[in-house]
Chains A and B, each alone.
Chain A
Amino acid sequence: MSVKTTDYSLLINNLMLFYENALAINNISLKIEEGKITGVFGANSAGKSSLMHTISGIILDMAKKEKMKGGERITWFGEMLFKGEDIINLPPHKRARLGIVLCPERRQIFSESSVLENLMIGSYLANSSQTKETLDFVFELFPELVKLKNREAGFLSGGEQQMLATGRALMAQPKLLLLDEPLLGLAPSVEQRLSRAIQDINKHTGITIIISEQYARPLFPIIDYGYLLENGGVVMEGTSKELMDNPDVIGAYFGI
């Protein structure tokens, strides 16, 4: 490999993922630069969520569960280097300790715990001073959550839940933050609000962020580099400007 692996936060080489005989990720290679925001865009079934699951390691759990049930076998091949270390077969909790933190699709908050408890559960990997600092940062980022601190999280609105989920992921002191469809089902104004917050996270903490989303437009101004997926493969990649100037991309993915 000629690329110096340490230049990148995450380096994925020739990743393939099978759900039984169905190819979900077809020979994808990604280079995620340190401290940048990378977007992964594509329609349903493009392989975005599978990719996020593979990076966060959840796929190992899913494979185990399916194997026990005798259901679909999930197999994957390829190389995934996080700060120069191959993590392709590392279980998800160990990846979280390395700093790869997933903010899952559909938020997946602990709906019967309070907002504050949700955030504290996220902070198991942090020491107490980090926790305090990050908590302040999260409340600064999402002032709405301060008022709702003691509210049961299940009663929050969709937008507030997404803020909570993002905040919870931040509490785990990520070095690489994976946001799986953070704008799912949100009003345009809340979309704006969240994408600005994501940008702030990146600016203030320097955390590397990968966002997957179907509708790229609201995220478009904040990403540094983007990949377009189709049927499990990368069909196009480039900086946000390059993608924006491509007429095919505009028609197909940005919904103009």
Chain B
Amino acid sequence: MQDKRKERIDRGVKVRSDTIYAISSMKEIMYLIGPRMGLVLFLLALPLVLPIYWQKVVSITAVYALLAVSFGFLSSYVGLVNLGGALFVGVGGYISGLLNSAYGLPLYISIPAATLLGALFCTLVLLPCLPLRGIYFAIVSFVYPLAAVRIISATGAFGGTDGIAGLDMIGSGYGSQYFIIVTLLLVTFGVSRLVSAEDIGLIFRGVKDNEQAIKASGLNLTMYKAVAVFIGALIGSFAGAWLAHLYGWVGMSLMATDFSILPLAATVVGGTSTIYGPLVGTLLLVPISEALRDFGTLRIVFYSVAMVFFVVFWTEGLLIYIKRKYEQFERWVRV
């Protein structure tokens, strides 16, 4: 009886490009930067090749992608499963809207200000929940935007159910599209570098793995968690502020549950454990859900089926699978 098994072997080009030989020839260089260049070129080409209607989708997709990157960063690298993405969006949007309408600040000041102030505010309100882990943090963070919506509609603050209308609008020309796309790329590569190459990224991953060991290493656990939430909230608040000026209107729908759940779905589909997974997931999910708009609420079903399929049968997610195929090949060997 001859037993055989399938063996996974790293491709030669992968092995070479792990070392100094990475710069030995064009092939190795292309192997390394090819996928990233592909992503960059793909995103940069989008506004040029898409028809007008879909160009608007680009902006929305980029906003969701930013949220997904923020979610992926917090959940895969810090261990904080943050289902309160809507809080970041809402806070960022409302602050920018207020600054713009009540104080008359132009949007190129109100958006950055809202990004910073929103992130600070979100970090402060989430501070008491930071000792929580996993599902408990997820529940509590999920409740925040829901509570915020109730408070706004009950007290009538910030325009109550009507929201604040008449904000300065971001045009939908190439300028704004490229601005958000480039921002998305910078954020993605920046966060990816932060978690893989910087000291603080190492600490973040340590926080996810073992909190006790982090404390035993003399690191202030709450501080690092707060920094992580601040980074996540920066991204989310910017997305919210951008969205507010894209619509020219701020309202309770900025705290919609979509903003909390879609990043989770995108991460499930794209794959955890890289920052690019959530990004790729969003680039798939948002256009698909846009294309299914004709089906009305039925598209939720398609959506759910896709999610269940990935959770149950393909837990690794798309990007991890593609990455493995890119780096390794398989062959049969005799045992």
A interface residues, Cβ below 8 angstroms from B: 16, 18, 20-21, 68-71, 73, 75, 77
Contacts and interface: CB of A to CB of B under 8 A. Distances in A.
A70 B8 contact: no
Contacts of B321: 70
Contacts of B313: 68
Given A16-B335, A77-B335, A70 B7 contact: no
B316 interface: yes
A20 B320 contact: no
Contacts of B314: 68, 70
Contacts of B6: 73, 75
A70 B320 contact: yes
A77 B320 contact: no
Contacts of A73: 6, 8
Main secondary structure of the interface of B (DSSP, over half): mixed
B267 to A, nearest CB: 14
B315 A75 contact: no
Interface of B: 3, 5-9, 313-317, 320-321, 324, 335
B316 A77 contact: no
28 contacts: A16-B3, A16-B335, A18-B5, A20-B8, A21-B7, A21-B8, A21-B9, A68-B313, A68-B314, A68-B315, A68-B316, A69-B315, A69-B316, A70-B314, A70-B315, A70-B316, A70-B317, A70-B320, A70-B321, A70-B324, A71-B316, A73-B6, A73-B8, A75-B5, A75-B6, A77-B3, A77-B5, A77-B335
A20 B324 CA distance: 13
The 8 A-B pairs with the shortest beta carbon distances in the complex, nearest first, are A70-B316, A77-B3, A68-B315, A75-B5, A69-B315, A77-B335, A70-B320, A69-B316
B149 to A, nearest CB: 36
Contacts of B5: 18, 75, 77
Contacts of A77: 3, 5, 335
Nearest to B1: A77
Contacts of B335: 16, 77
Contacts of B316: 68-71
A67 to B, nearest CB: 9
A252 B303 CA distance: 59
A77 B4 CA distance: 9
Nearest to B3: A77
Nearest to B321: A70
Contacts of A18: 5
A69 B321 CA distance: 10
- Chain A CB within 10 Å, residue with most, of B3, B7, B316, B335: B335
Nearest to A20: B8
A77 B321 CA distance: 26
Contacts of A20: 8
A77 B1 CA distance: 11
A102 B5 CA distance: 28
B181 to A, nearest CB: 30
Nearest to A68: B315
A75 B317 CA distance: 22
Nearest to B4: A77
Nearest to A72: B8
Contacts of A75: 5-6
Nearest to B7: A21
B273 to A, nearest CB: 10
Contacts of A70: 314-317, 320-321, 324
A18 B335 CA distance: 10
A18 B3 CA distance: 13
Given A68-B315, A70-B315, A75-B6, 11 more contacts: A16-B335, A68-B313, A68-B314, A69-B315, A70-B316, A70-B320, A70-B321, A71-B316, A73-B6, A73-B8, A77-B3
B324 to A, nearest CB: 7
A21 B8 CA distance: 7
A232 to B, nearest CB: 13
Contacts of B320: 70
Nearest to B10: A21
A225 B110 CA distance: 78
Nearest to B330: A73
Nearest to A16: B335
- Chain B CB within 10 Å, residue with most, of A18, A68, A70, A75: A70
